[in-house]
Structure 1
Amino acid sequence: MSYLKSLPAETTLLQVFRAHPEPARHLLAFHETLLRGDSPFTVAEREMIAAYVSGVNSCGYCHGIHTVTAETFGVPAGVLAAAVADLGSAPVPEKLKPVLAYAGKLTRTPSRMTEADAEAVFAAGWDEQALHDAVLVCALFNFMNRMVEGLGIEADAAYATTSGERLAETGYAGLARFLDD
């Protein structure tokens, strides 16, 4: 239930963005750059990082939407739930596990990050740009999870499916056109 009394009780993030369009435009542009721009990671992998961080944070709204988005881009169904439950045994590509482990540790205990954590990402074959991108996606979704939870935004599985599929189709830049509707 939304804590913003000027909006309906069952407010979605898009409704919050419409009510506050100026910061939303910048936030959506940042999402578009990080999640759809050039990166060593595929779009599916970046959406996996977003969904994984959201799952670690128990943010059902973001985890649901970004799981659907990742699956739309080819991540097999159930992989993200398995990764959140137990990354070590999850059917995540081995090359991506150290990246998700890094994002998970950065989410849970940011002050405990070490050079060894970064070295595990590099040892899996990723470069500095990949580490940078993973950190930014992780940071963005820690921010988004706190925004969603702090505003009391919730959604059911049907909305997560609709929103996730819309994200896959229009991207984050495409959402900006909904701000003026």
Structure 2
Amino acid sequence: MSWIRTVPFDEATGRLKKLYDRVTGPDNNVDNIMMVHSLRPHSMEGHMALYKNVLHHSANTIPKWFLEVLGVWVSSLNRCGYCVEHHFSGLQRLLDDEARGLAIRAAVEAGTPETAPLDAAQAAAMRYARKLTEDPASLVEADVEDLRSVGWDDGEILEINQVCAYFSYANRTVLGLGCSTDGDVLGLSPNNSDNPDDWGHR
């Protein structure tokens, strides 16, 4: 499951057990990306709070399915198969258009998001995401102006930035600790966006 020791759900006690109870899915399943934090529960708590607020908060205005597209794209650029598989499954569930989802994934895997069935604003966000992921120091104010020019407002630009930044963090957590999808249930997410403290995966 990972290259470091983790504490199984049925052996957790104290603070870790309380956190596991908050992030569980069906049959007390805890995603491996969360379980990999089990030796330091405070970092699991920080990770989950960031994830929930960046990707699954009711104050976001960008459709959640497109935030998942950005996550799949960033994860693909970082060659993080774990996050690609998890978040593509979530993307498909949210988009509810299998053919379109598969076309988006094919474009992502080919490294040509401009060929995906996305609108001009979404395509611009994908370009920004690539630059932020592959060469962040090369970004200039004009890159943000490009996003404005296709209709994103500054709050939405912040959402795009934070989702891309979060996924690079998550990718490095997974890749740096050898986290696998073994035993995970793909595509679950904390879908109660109205309650930032509800971390349950369904």
Query: Which range, TM-score by smaller chain?
Result: 0.7 to 0.9
Once the two structures are TM-superposed, the CA of residue 168 in structure 1 deviates from its matched residue by 6.0
Q: What letter matches 1:82 in structure 2?
A: A
TM-score by length of 2: 0.74
Q: What letter matches 1:46 in structure 2?
A: L
Q: 5 Å matches for 1:51-66?
A: 51-66=72-87
Residue 61 of structure 1 aligns to a residue whose secondary structure is helix
Bigger-Rg structure (1/2):
2
Could you say which structure has the higher helix fraction?
Answer: 1
Does the 8 A contact of 1:55 with 1:84 survive in 2?
A: yes
For the structure 1 residues 131 and 84, does the alpha-carbon distance in structure 2 shift closer, same or farther, using more than 3 Å as the test? Answer: farther
Q: Which residue of 2 aligns with 1:87?
A: 113
For the structure 1 residues 173 and 47, does the alpha-carbon distance in structure 2 shift closer, same or farther, using more than 3 Å as the test? Answer: farther
Once residues 164 and 191 of structure 2 are traced to their aligned partners in structure 1, the CA distance between those partners, rounded to angstroms, is 22
Q: Which residue of 2 aligns with 1:39?
A: 60
Q: 5 Å matches for 1:13-32?
A: 13-32=33-52
Does the 8 A contact of 1:28 with 1:176 survive in 2?
A: no
- The answer to whether structure 1 residue 141 and structure 2 residue 167 are counterparts is yes
Q: What letter matches 2:34 in structure 1?
A: L
Q: Which residue of 1 aligns with 2:137?
A: 111
Once residues 137 and 86 of structure 2 are traced to their aligned partners in structure 1, the CA distance between those partners, rounded to angstroms, is 28
Once residues 3 and 94 of structure 1 are traced to their aligned partners in structure 2, the CA distance between those partners, rounded to angstroms, is 41
Number of equivalent positions? 171
Once residues 16 and 56 of structure 1 are traced to their aligned partners in structure 2, the CA distance between those partners, rounded to angstroms, is 22
Percent identity reads 27
5+ residue gaps, structure 2: 9-30
Q: Which residue of 1 aligns with 2:128?
A: 102
TM-score by length of 1: 0.82
Residue 36 of structure 2 aligns to a residue whose secondary structure is helix
- Residue 127 of structure 1, aligned match among 128, 150, 153: 153
For the structure 1 residues 6 and 47, does the alpha-carbon distance in structure 2 shift closer, same or farther, using more than 3 Å as the test? Answer: closer
Q: Which residue of 1 aligns with 2:186?
A: 163
Please report the RMSD computed on the Cα atoms of aligned residues, expressed in angstroms: 2.5
Once the two structures are TM-superposed, the CA of residue 23 in structure 1 deviates from its matched residue by 1.5
Once the two structures are TM-superposed, the CA of residue 100 in structure 1 deviates from its matched residue by 1.2
Does the 8 A contact of 2:71 with 2:163 survive in 1?
A: yes
Once residues 47 and 6 of structure 1 are traced to their aligned partners in structure 2, the CA distance between those partners, rounded to angstroms, is 27
